[in-house]
Amino acid sequence: MTVLSPEISLDPDLRAAGDRTHFWRVPRYRGLDCLRATFRRYSYARHTHETYALAAIMEGCETFFHRGEQRYAGPGSVAIVCPDEIHDGAPYGGGFEYRTFYPSVELMREIAEDVAGRPLSRAPWFPRSVVDDPELALAHAQLHACLSRDGYWASELEQDSRLIDYLGRLIARWADLDAVPAQRYGTQGITRARDYLDAHLGQEADLADLARLAGLSRSHFIRAFAKETGFTPHAYLVDRRFRAASRLLSRGEAPGDVAAVCGFFDQSHLNRVFKARMGVTPGTYRAA
């Protein structure tokens, strides 16, 4: 496990404004990513993750776009974003401090099956973007500190116990284990275009070619694509490149190589895109 200092994670002008981030990964929990941050100026670009994002607000207020609406999360609440859901994040008022976990689909499903006492056909879905649950937010923060070894040493038994307890309570109280999330992609033409982009992340895409794949005019294609995915074609491609870069960096691939494979112009381009969506640099993410 590696804990990285805020001096590595953010730009000097953001650090001067009071923004701080600490990022680390706990491999034995299926590569669980952890982020502790204070943001007064920094804002996330809209993006998605292959994992869940669970954030307990310690101080201040975070606002974020999720499921078509602007949400607000204050102290004692937990913000929940499910995999593949578009979201961003920004300080509201004077800023906010939070603790975030990014548990994998596999980990969440495993614990949900423990809670349900039966096999589940899918990972848990959370109908609410923000839950007001101070007891759970406290358990979230205690687990976060336990996994970071921030201030005390914790055994693996304590870490395991707190993780299972916290995620189990979160799922038992707030998840719907049998709900089927709304299907985002329904039109065959848009699905063909999306599949093409997914298969050619390292290449530049031509709008006319994508529109032909979808069987639409270019202007109609852009509107239809945005309606079904929540992204313009270009924003979708950047988001998928970010997700692919996250996977490669987590395996230890060098940022320069990742930039080339994933279709970024250069490593600086990767840095800008990655920091805007993860809050830390690709080098920080890889080092964890």
**What pLDDT, in 10s, does the model give residues 238-274?**
999 999 999 999 999 999 999 999 999 999 999 999 9
Domains of the chain: 6-174 (2.60.120.10), 188-229+231-287 (1.10.10.60)
Per-residue pLDDT tens digits for 104-117: 999 999 999 999 99
The string of DSSP codes covering 49-84 is -SS-EEEEEEEEEEEEEETTEEEEE-TTEEEEE-TT
pTM: 0.90
Rounded to the nearest 5°, which phi and psi values hold at 202? Answer: -85, 5
Q: In this structure, are strands 53-66 and 69-73 parallel, antiparallel, or unpaired?
A: antiparallel
pLDDT bucket at 4, cuts 50 / 70 / 90: very low
Please tell me the total number of residues recorded for the chain in this structure.
288
| The pLDDT of residue 3 | 40
Contact 4, 287 (CB under 8 A): yes
Q: At what angle do helices 134-148 and 156-174 cross, to 10 degrees?
A: 150
Per-residue pLDDT tens digits for 7-55: 344 555 566 678 999 999 999 999 999 999 999 999 999 999 999 999 9
237 Cβ contact partners less than 8 Å away, ≥ 6 residues apart: 197, 201, 205, 263
Per-residue pLDDT tens digits for 121-132: 999 999 999 999
